[in-house]
Amino acid sequence: MKLWGGRFAQETDALVRRFNDSLPFDVRLYAEDIRGSIAWAEGLVTAAILTPDEADTIVAGLNQVAAELAANAFQFQPGDEDIHTAVERRLIELVGPVGGKLHTGRSRNDQVATDFRLWLMPAIDRLQAELRQLHVALIEQAEGHLETLLPGYTHLQPAQPISWAHWLLAHFWPLTRDARRLAQARHQADALPLGSAALAGTTLAVDRPALAAKLGFSAVTANSLDAVSDRDFAADFLYASAMLGVHLSRLAEQLILFSSAEFGFVQLADQFSTGSSLMPQKKNPDTLELTRGKSGRLIGHLTGLLATLKGLPSTYDKDLQEDKEPVFDAFDNLTLILPVMAGVIKTLQLRPERMTAQLEAGLLATDLADYLVHKGVPFREAHGLVGTAVQLAEQTGREINELSLAELQAISPHFSEDVSAVFDMQQALQRRNIPGGTGPAAVAEQLAAARHWLESDQKHSSSRA
């Protein structure tokens, strides 16, 4: 059924139909479309367009359509250009001409915006739940590792000792920011466009706030022109997805490094690795690589939608049909990536001996400078003196803690016997019990804050201690 067939003398070209039709992807909105139509039918009773009996007939018909779709028993017809058309066509088949009253005072413009928002809100809830599993996995891995040492890196060069718990939590907090962004996108979706009709508002006396409440929206949209063209919620969702992808890509990248033969700090569980078709000895971090790769796609989806939206005048243009595929694809990918990453973290095997093997005394050069500072040497000068010591050690093929006291004193008279204490790695952690630092007490507080964030209403909390 073409809804606008009355006017056109010539048949629409088959190719054009295939080009224009959105059914292949918007069929996914069927449940939301029918939910929205049921609410609208009830609204039409209030507006005195339908009798209660007519509404009952329509609702019963819609429920049957939904059942057919759920059971994969729905027969699509060549003229079903989108899910809205398909549902209405089938409804009329089932209930007769009264079904033709359903679309009164409504347009596909407000209908599709309503369906899409109805779909997105629980989709985000689902992602939040999956994300929570990853949060939990990070916290659980962190517990018990407050004193497990590994080198912290900057510029991918070993810099200072940190704890494994601190490292894990460094990936926890970015994900809280993602949860926040997802919540913002959901909030942006949470207003009912229905009643905006094609662009100017419906002429029927429907009760929009009541419709909103019935469908689970917190509010109604403020301006009908804006309502039919606003896709900010889709862009907000794609941005939240892209940033989540960026954070997961960074986590994946670092685990790929840490599971390399050269680092060897962690080992992926077998079920999250794959082998090689040619090289039987390989154990490849495919899941991590795909996670990393897919974040490119998420960035692309965001960019694409922004470019599409940029050129449109206000109200509905057909370009907006391009809104759904990237959103569906981002959702589908994230609902795979998130549990996979949670599984990776949960089953990650540590190799603490490899971590400590990389803890060279050079990582405490800053602590050595701080030692001099506490002896009264200005930091800039201390920094230079330690640099000289590092150079001496390197030139003579030793670690900095292998320099003799005499050698050190030749560099600065402020060095004395107590300098050896500087080179204790656990003490180096303990020196950093400042809030946010890697010291075990500080990390214990951080863990408590992380758990608290999880327990509280996540959506509006921030990622701060």
Q: Does an H or E element contain 398, and which?
A: none
CA dihedral sign of residues 360, 365, 370, 373 = positive
Radius of gyration of the chain (CA): 30
Shortest Å, Cβ 72 to a second copy:
18
Q: 146 near 163, Cβ under 8 Å?
A: yes
Number of residues this chain uses to bind a second copy (CB under 8 A): 206
Tokens of 233: 């919620």
Query: From the list 27, 31, 45, 98, which residue makes contact with a second copy (rule: CB under 8 A)?
Result: 98
- Binding part of the chain for a second copy, among 28-36, 61-69, 126-134, 302-310 by CB under 8 A, reads 302-310
Query: From the list 319, 352, 413, 421, which residue makes contact with a second copy (rule: CB under 8 A)?
Result: 319
Q: Which amino acid is at 435?
A: P
Exposure string of 113-142, with b = 16+ CB inside 10 Å and e = fewer, is bbbbbbbbbebbeebbebbbbbbbbbbebb
Among candidate residues 276, 420, 456, 462, the one labeled active-site is 276
In the complex with a second copy, the residue whose CB is nearer, 32 or 195, is 195
Query: From the list 70, 269, 405, 448, which residue makes contact with a second copy (rule: CB under 8 A)?
Result: 269
- Binding part of the chain for a second copy, among 25-33, 118-126, 127-135, 388-396 by CB under 8 A, reads 388-396
List CB contacts of 399: < 8 A, sequence separation 6 or more.
360, 361, 362, 393
**Site residues (CB under 8 A) for a second copy, limited to 38-67:** 49
Dihedral angle of Cα 233, 236, 237, 238, to the nearest 10 degrees: 120
**Site residues (CB under 8 A) for a second copy, limited to 161-200:** 161-162, 166-167, 169-174, 177, 180-181, 184, 187-188, 191, 195-200
Residues in contact with a second copy, shown as a per-residue x/- string from 400 to 439 under the rule CB under 8 A: x------------------------------xxxxxxxxx
- DSSP string spanning 270-286? GGG-B--SS-TT--B-H
In the complex with a second copy, the residue whose CB is nearer, 66 or 150, is 150
Query: From the list 93, 147, 286, 407, which residue makes contact with a second copy (rule: CB under 8 A)?
Result: 286
Q: Which amino acid is at 63?
A: N
- Binding part of the chain for a second copy, among 28-36, 115-123, 290-298, 402-410 by CB under 8 A, reads 290-298
Shortest Å, Cβ 175 to a second copy:
10
In the complex with a second copy, the residue whose CB is nearer, 141 or 202, is 202
Is 103 designated active site? Answer: no
Shortest Å, Cβ 215 to a second copy:
15
Tokens of 66: 């939904």
Q: Report if residue 117 touches a second copy, rule: CB under 8 A.
A: no
Q: Report if residue 31 touches a second copy, rule: CB under 8 A.
A: no
In the complex with a second copy, the residue whose CB is nearer, 147 or 360, is 360
Measured CA to CA, the distance from residue 288 to residue 409 in angstroms comes to: 49
Q: Report if residue 103 touches a second copy, rule: CB under 8 A.
A: yes
Alpha-carbon distances, residue 438 vs 149, 171, 348 (angstroms): 10, 14, 21
Burial class of residue 53 (count of CB atoms within 10 Å of its CB; 0-12, 13-18, 19+): exposed
The Cβ of residue 152 has, within 10 Å, a number of other Cβ atoms equal to 16
Is 414 designated active site? Answer: no
Query: From the list 30, 116, 164, 263, which residue makes contact with a second copy (rule: CB under 8 A)?
Result: 263
**Site residues (CB under 8 A) for a second copy, limited to 145-164:** 151-162
The Cβ of residue 456 has, within 10 Å, a number of other Cβ atoms equal to 10
Say how far residue 387 (Cα) sits from the centre of its chain.
43
Query: From the list 114, 128, 141, 224, which residue makes contact with a second copy (rule: CB under 8 A)?
Result: 224
Question: Which residues are part of the catalytic machinery?
Answer: 155, 276
